Every structure is written in C-alpha cells, then in structure tokens.
Amino acid sequence: MEIFWYSAVGLVLTIFFILDGYDFGAGIIHLFFAKKEKDKEVITKSAGLFWDSNEVWLVAAGGMLFMAFPTFYASVFSGFYLPLIIVLWLIVFRAIGLEFRGQFKFQMWKDIWDKSFGVSSLLLALFFGIALGNIVRGVNLGSVENGVSAHEGHYFFLPLWNSSFSPLSDHPGVIDWFTIIIGLIAVVTLAIHGANWIILKTNSSINNKLKGVIFKLNIVLAALTIISLIVWQWVNPNALDNFIHKPYLLVFPIIYLAGLIGLFFRKKIKKDAHAFMLSTLIIMGGISSSLASIFPVILPSINDVHEHLTIYNTSASEYGLSVALIWGIIGFILLVIYAIVQKRLLGGKIDDMDYGH
C-alpha cells in the first residue's frame, strides 16, 4: 500500500509540473522574449486561461501527502517553512499578475503586472528545482551537533543558506551551489516547456524565434544535466546505486534522454504537439529519475544518528491507507474529469479567446 501511495503522489506531482510547468515557462518566455503588446497579451492568455485549474493538482498532491505520509508532511512543512512561505507569495503574485494585467489599459499598470507574472514564474521554477535538490541531497534530521540530537529524528529546520553555501556542510541551507544547479535545470526545462506551449496554443509573432530558443536552451539543459550528474556523485557517492541494483529503473532516465535528444530536432518537427510531448518527457523523466534514485527513501538523513525518512516509517496506518484509497480514487477521477472538460473547452489556438478584460 505504501508503494501505491508513493507512486500516486509522485504521479500527481508530475502532472502538476507538466501542466503548471508550462505556465511557469510561459512566464519566463514572457519576461525575456515578449516585446510587442500583442505577444505579451497572447502569452499571458496562454497561461491565464489555465493556471487556476492546473494548480488544483498541487493542492491534491499536498492533500495526498497529508493523508498517506503524515510524518513526512509534518517534517518537510516545518523544515522547509521559509522557502514554502516564499513559494506561497510567488504563487500569489503570479496569479494577480495574470488577473490584474487586463483590468486597465494604462501602460505602467500593464508593465507592473507583466513583471509580477514573469519574475514570479522564474523564481517559482527556480525554487521548485531547489526543493528537488534538497530532497535528493538530504537534510540534518534531528539537528544533530557533535553526535548529539537536539530534536526528534523526523524534525529539522533549514535556513535559506549558510555561510559556507556548501551541500557538504553538516548544517546545509535550502540554497547552496548544488541545489542552485538543480534549480537552474528546472528553470531551463520549464522555459523549454513553456515555449513549446506558446507555439502550440498561440499564433504569436515570436513562435518561429522560439524554436531557435528551444534549441539553444536544450544545449544548456544537456550541459547542466551532465554537470549535475558529476556533482551529485560528489555530494552523494551512492546516488546511482538504485539504478545499478535495479536496472529496470533505468527506464526513467531513458524517458528523460528521449525528450532531451528529440528536442535537438525541434525545427524539423512539424507537429507542435509532438514537440510539447518531448518537453513533457523531460519533466516526467527528470522527476521520476530523481525519486527512483533514492527510493524507498523520501528524505535522506545526512547524519548517522537518525535513519532516513522512508515510505515505510512515515506512512499512515494500514487501515488509514486503505480507507484513503476509496476517497483517493474518487478524487482522482474528479480531477481527471475536470482537466478533460477544461482542456476541451479551451482546445485549439487561444488567441481570440477573451481573458482579463
């Protein structure tokens, strides 16, 4: 049952990053490449018509974590309190940037909310990537100092950064040079995904330019991927052990590589939906590979005093998980129906659809 719920939470989180990920990416593209008012308006629309339904998946993932792995939920929501508050405010400013932009036609008003949308999207992509970096790096569970634990084994609290800015520190911060690398990978990946989404859903004048941008960003992503694998081995020498002992898990890195390699041929891909699927594969492969690398651990401990948090020592009781299964299935079906209806109502190009007026 624990494996089922772990897979279910991972699936819902992946769906969230695929769906809301193109919103983040559209915001990044909007920030750096949209110059004409018509392009700004249509790119804003490509995110604004979808963002609220896409974020339902994040709420669902949080609820499922609370329901299936309450100890892990309590641990990370206290330990990552500072970055979670930052993410909350960024989500707020991204939303109001989208919703407020079209309320008045004053240029200064539009410029303010354009920056709110773009900068918030960029920082959200960065912080979500940093969060993944913290999960695979591990934390000082129990706040151990000189072999003595200051708290219970599932408790920790991280500052935003420490003086050494190093992931090898006994007391790492949320942000260090390793998590920044993972954060940059997230930013580049979602920028590619957002560019593919804009091309798929709009007739923006920069669509042809974006195909070249995707190719260049893909080169950056490939380089960052290689760098991250090298430094990951330095931070955690056992990082790839799961793939050696369980070769079937290699299917996840293969999915990532398939998307990455495929996008090098972006200019030759005739159907925009196919290109969007390739960036979707990158997101799916990246998240699933990261989770598979530490399975069944869900939060590693960097000290020898406390054991890792796993799907087994943080889960609810067997009875609780079985009861939750019924409501989980009902909720998931409703989510899927909601997503299908919304996507069908907003199918095709959205240039002429009304939003924000």
> Would residue 237 be called left, alpha or beta, if left means φ above 0 and alpha means ψ between -120 and 50 degrees?
alpha
What are the structure tokens assigned to 184, written together?
């940059």
Q: What does the pLDDT profile of the chain (357 residues) look like in tens digits?
A: 788 889 889 999 999 999 989 999 999 999 999 888 888 888 988 888 888 888 888 888 888 888 889 999 999 988 899 999 999 999 999 989 888 887 888 888 888 988 999 999 999 999 999 999 999 998 888 878 777 776 787 888 888 888 888 888 888 899 999 999 999 999 999 999 999 999 999 888 899 899 999 999 999 999 999 999 999 988 888 888 899 899 999 999 999 999 999 999 888 888 989 999 999 999 999 999 999 999 899 999 888 888 889 989 888 888 888 888 888 888 888 888 988 888 788 878 877 777 755
pLDDT value at residue 277? 95
Which 8-state DSSP code applies to residue 172?
A: -
Closest C-alpha to 29, from 189, 250, 235, 267? 189
Looking at residue 200, its amino acid is L
From CA 350, how far away is CA 347, in angstroms rounded?
8
DSSP 8-63: HHHHHHHHHHHHHHHHHHHHHHHHHH--SHHHHHHHHHHHHTTHHHHTHHHHHHHH
Residues 6 or more apart from 17 whose CB is under 8 A from it? 128, 190, 283, 287
Domain boundaries, the chain: 2-345
Q: In 3-state terms, what secondary structure has residue 128?
A: helix
Taking the alpha carbons of 92, 98, 101, 103 in that order, is the dihedral positive or negative? negative
pLDDT value at residue 349? 81
Which residues are 301's β-sheet partners? 139
